[in-house]
Structure 1
Amino acid sequence: MKNWWQKSIIIAVAVLTLGAIPPSHMLWESLLDEKASSNSHAEDDQHKQFIYDWQDPSEYYYESITILDTVHKMAEEQAYLKFGSRIGPVIRDEFQTAVLPNMQRAIDLYLASLDSGKIAKLAISEKPSGDHSEKIFHIYDMETNEDAIRFHVRTEKKPQEGYFFNFHYHVADDDFQQHIALGDIYWSKNTPPKWLS
């Protein structure tokens, strides 16, 4: 059946091109040669013998933790360290669902804009500030010691509502001027304790 289609195509091309491409043209010969060689390869594939060698999977095990996983984990640890034992248990669930995913997305977006050479030079600060200071952690360049992103939380008192924790971050691109919101968590009408307490 395929042979019939092929002959029909050759005749149709010859008629449509008014004989400019005759059936004896090199184009048709190369097409026929490719078909013959593909048939011989198909026959060879049927007679191949495959040998499977069992490999120990532990030889090929690579740790699945990526740099993003590491950064996300460190960011979360620094946040809980800042919250301390008095604030942490109260806001933990809401932080996990409302703020942490936004924080991780901001980190992902920033890291995606860098090449691997710059990413390798980054680190996360390990000392969140206490009392009423805003710093949770900063991502900085280890060579220049300059901050790239600053993640902060600010305590705000809204009239008639009470105290909220405003999570936000700043980027070096605008000299850390703009507050980019990550989310708010309600505390209560009572003054919250100091950070790290």
Structure 2
Amino acid sequence: MAIWLKKSFFVLISILTFGLVTPSQAFLNEEGQALAKSSGKASTVERAEEDVMEEESLFTREDFLEHIMEQAEQNAYMKFGTKIKPAIEVEFRTVILPKMEYAIEQTSLQYGDDDLSNLVISEVPQYAKTEKIFHIYDKRSGEDIIRFHVRKDHPPKAGYYFNFHYHTVHDDFQAHHDLGSIFWAKNTPPQWMSVS
């Protein structure tokens, strides 16, 4: 619709309704963009879009690691539940978590900064028997990049251990990369996600 026709329509409606009905925000935005284009100035909407694009391009490897590690720690504690977490939290935080961070950092080096913004962490599975803590996957393709797991080991006459390990896409998730084990006790540990 021509600009003069839109303005005429706006004036006509304003006169007929005595200003009780105002034009929609979409109409005003459209008009503002048209005026900005004709005057050669960028609209506030366009400037806001440019700011968002600039912010996304400032996403760094450090930002990625910080964000992923916060989520990784939260997911691990959710997996442990309130019965297991208090018993292994200190050792997990000091021994296992730094190794997880190193594995994620090394894996992230194979991706450019632009690709890192598409790597996200999965949810904690709601079923208790699986080894999965979380996976990091590419949200564009849905394919896993690295998988972090924990399993309950029970060597003969040695009690129970939680074995933390990960698998990567680079060997088709076949190799078992050990992060370490944490001793639980002689008695059987509770189910994952158990609450006190």
TM-score range, shorter chain: 0.5 to 0.7
Asked whether 1:139 is paired with 2:136, we answer yes
Query: CA offsets per residue over residues 146-186 of structure 1, 9 Å max, x none?
Result: 10000000100011111000000000111111110001000
TM-score, with structure 1 as normaliser: 0.66
- How far residue 111 of structure 1 moved from its aligned partner, in angstroms, is 0.8
What is the aligned-residue identity percentage? 48
Secondary structure (helix, strand or coil) at the match of 1:77 reads helix
Larger radius of gyration: 1
2:191 maps to what in 1?
Answer: 194
Asked whether 1:100 is paired with 2:103, we answer no
Query: CA offsets per residue over residues 93-129 of structure 1, 9 Å max, x none?
Result: 0101110100011011111221112211111002235
| Coordinate RMSD, CA, aligned | 1.9
Show structure 1 runs of 5+ residues with no match.
Answer: 1-61
CA distance in 2, matches of 1:136, 1:126: 8
The question of whether the paired residues in 2 share the 8 Å contact of 1:130 and 1:194 is answered with: no
- How far residue 189 of structure 1 moved from its aligned partner, in angstroms, is 0.9
CA distance in 1, matches of 2:149, 2:126: 10
Q: Which amino acid aligns with 2:84?
A: I
Equivalent residues, number:
136
Task: Say which of 174, 179, 183 aligns to 1:182.
Answer: 179
The question of whether the paired residues in 2 share the 8 Å contact of 1:129 and 1:136 is answered with: no
Q: Which amino acid aligns with 1:160?
A: K
Q: Which amino acid aligns with 1:190?
A: N
Q: Which amino acid aligns with 1:165?
A: F
Secondary structure (helix, strand or coil) at the match of 1:187 reads strand
